[in-house]
């Protein structure tokens, strides 16, 4: 088996995504299978996706949510392919040659890791969803030419291929149980082991819409995850390329973290209001996350 398509599912209808992949497998004629693992979704989504049991090769249901890192490692127990293609469950295939592009690259270059990219709608879905959309368009949807300049920093886990033997050797950090930074930690682990990440122009459309309230909650979770990561990493290796971590560590060394914390207590309601309006600059989001990070780091003392 050349390729296993691995889709972790959580509270998402994946029928269109899976049916499109099944069609492409039939058309291209390559040997590939599809493995779905549901991470303890709401029963509503389990029922919606249940009809896929007879269409895919394996459909596994977890009784307890295990999180974004551990579930990706779990696919190693079910795949017998040389390569694993991981896709987020809110993805949408936008190219008829999506699988062929990956398989051709694998045949020609025998890579270890490939990132294909992502796209979002060029039009804002509305002010109530503006914060997530702005983050996607300004910081995530990078063209391949830009990604190639910083291949480890601009890697994401929404749409990537990895050689199974590489993931067995360098699995996702399962200490990362909450939302945030598991992709960057994984890419930095690859870098330390001198594993190359190839980038190609083969994006999927990530169409998950999140309200400003939901995305701001995730921003808070990511700051909390980063605080735990900094607390565990005494040499700061894992966080050395994370801009927010670098800003915190610099402020801590200079004593500015204490000053910013005092200012942030006054600023926080204003920053939250701006962010929840959905039209704020991402610099406002950065200031918010920095304040949250400092607060979580102080709680760890």
Q: What DSSP line would sit under 115-135, residue for residue?
A: E--EE--SS---GGGHHHHHH
Last residue of a domain, one of 206, 228, 252: 206
Are 26 and 158 contained in the same domain?
Answer: yes
Are 254 and 185 contained in the same domain?
Answer: no
For residue 275, the surrounding DSSP H or E stretch is: helix 256-277
Are 237 and 180 contained in the same domain?
Answer: no
Last residue of a domain, one of 173, 206, 239: 206
Are 166 and 236 contained in the same domain?
Answer: no
Res 179: pLDDT: 77
Are 166 and 125 contained in the same domain?
Answer: yes
Domain of 146?
Answer: 3-206
Are 118 and 260 contained in the same domain?
Answer: no
Res 235: pLDDT: 53
Are 190 and 225 contained in the same domain?
Answer: no
Are 64 and 183 contained in the same domain?
Answer: yes
Are 196 and 264 contained in the same domain?
Answer: no
Last residue of a domain, one of 206, 223, 246: 206
Question: What six digits make up the tokens of 189?
Answer: 């682990």
Res 81: pLDDT: 96
Closest of 214, 215, 227 to residue 257, by C-alpha: 227
Q: What is the mean pLDDT of each run of 10 residues along the chain (301 residues)?
A: 93 96 92 95 97 96 93 96 96 96 96 96 88 90 94 95 98 81 90 96 87 94 89 67 89 93 95 93 95 91 61
**How many domains, the chain?**
2
Are 114 and 141 contained in the same domain?
Answer: yes
Q: Which residues contact 44 (CB under 8 A, 6 or more apart)?
A: none
Res 1: pLDDT: 62
């Amino acid at each position: 088996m050349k390729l296993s398509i691995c889709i972790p599912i959580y509270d998402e209808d994946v029928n269109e995504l899976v049916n499109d992949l099944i069609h492409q497998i039939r058309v291209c004629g390559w040997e590939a299978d599809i493995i779905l693992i549901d991470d303890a979704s709401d029963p509503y989504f389990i029922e919606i996706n249940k009809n896929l049991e007879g269409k895919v090769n394996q459909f596994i249901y977890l009784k307890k949510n295990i999180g974004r890192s551990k579930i990706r490692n779990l696919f190693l127990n079910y795949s017998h392919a040389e390569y694993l293609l991981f896709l987020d469950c809110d993805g949408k295939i936008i190219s008829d040659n999506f699988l062929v592009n990956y398989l051709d690259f694998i045949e020609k270059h025998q890579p270890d890791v490939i990132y294909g990219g992502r796209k979002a709608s060029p039009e804002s879905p509305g002010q109530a969803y503006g914060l997530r959309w702005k983050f996607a368009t300004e910081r995530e949807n990078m063209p391949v030419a830009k990604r190639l300049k910083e291949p480890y920093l601009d890697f994401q886990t929404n749409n990537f291929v990895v050689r199974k033997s590489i993931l067995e050797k360098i699995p996702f950090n399962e200490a990362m149980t909450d939302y945030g930074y598991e992709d960057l930690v994984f890419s930095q682990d690859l870098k330390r082991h001198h594993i190359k990440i190839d980038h190609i122009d083969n994006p999927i459309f990530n169409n998950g819409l999140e309200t400003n309230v939901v995305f701001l909650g995730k921003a808070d979770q990511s700051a909390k995850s980063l605080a735990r990561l900094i607390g565990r990493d005494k040499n700061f290796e894992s966080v050395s390329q994370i801009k927010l971590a670098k800003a915190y560590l610099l402020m801590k060394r200079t004593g500015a973290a204490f000053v910013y914390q005092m200012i942030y207590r006054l600023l926080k309601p204003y920053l939250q209001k701006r962010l929840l309006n959905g039209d704020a600059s991402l610099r406002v989001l950065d200031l918010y996350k920095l304040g949250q990070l400092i607060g979580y780091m102080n709680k760890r003392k």
